[in-house]
Structure 1
């Protein structure tokens, strides 16, 4: 089943935002706050392909922290709040504002990697060899 671009985008956002398996849409993508499961418990999708790395933190800082920082600076300049009150407002606002979107952003990145079949250029053979060794070791451990 091949999806067109708008369907791909909608599927990536839906499965990523809800933390669902990008293959079947039923299994859970996360086993804890930001830890991706090893395999989907419904369809068996192997999540070894998932490597969002620092992407969630980058997007959270870019699209959340910078606008919040400008809001806090504006509050200080326009309202002339006492520094203590400004910290009481700013620290929880920045903390929650940056941490809460991490999971949906990570889900979006993992789903995007799966749907678009993204791999780092030139590493296909390396990943294949590494996964073959992992599978071989896992097979020996199960015996």
Structure 2
């Protein structure tokens, strides 16, 4: 990471790159091709997003956390207002889907931006005979 949290001109901080889908190199909004799929490379600066190993690591965490929060809110609403079952279905199914998809975007974007700014790479075995 650059010294003192100072970034090169054009490089957004990790949180901004994650929230808005910005390229971690130039800051252009070119990180995602679909809802949670990365583009092959930045259309503005040519940074290859494929060299970063983000995978689906945040998926399980985010799904569990968002699920727990929404269940707590749904149970609170049910205890206070007692709406019919169809209200719960209409309200919570799309809200859960939207929260998980946006959460995955933010989580995967944060991991990619963090890997880029810290210049993370695959581990290499060092030969001690050299």
Shorter-chain TM band: 0.7 to 0.9
User: 1:50 touches 1:113 (CA, 8 Å); kept in 2?
Assistant: yes
Give aligned pairs, total: 122
- The match for 2:40 is 38
List runs of 5+ in structure 1 lacking aligned partners.
Answer: 126-143
Deviation (angstroms), 1:11: 0.8
Distance 1:64 1:24 in 2: 31
When residues 3 and 87 of structure 1 are mapped into structure 2, their CA distance, relative to the original with a 3 A threshold, is same
RMSD: 2.8
**Richer in helix (by share):** 1
When residues 92 and 38 of structure 1 are mapped into structure 2, their CA distance, relative to the original with a 3 A threshold, is closer
List runs of 5+ in structure 2 lacking aligned partners.
Answer: 126-130
User: 2:21 touches 2:32 (CA, 8 Å); kept in 1?
Assistant: yes
* Equivalent runs, 1:4-15 vs 2, <5 Å: 4-5=4-5, 11-15=13-17
When residues 49 and 3 of structure 1 are mapped into structure 2, their CA distance, relative to the original with a 3 A threshold, is farther
User: 1:22 touches 1:115 (CA, 8 Å); kept in 2?
Assistant: yes
Q: Deviations over 1:115-140 (max 9, x none)?
A: 122345x4x46xxxxxxxxxxxxxxx
- The match for 2:72 is 70
TM-score by length of 1: 0.67
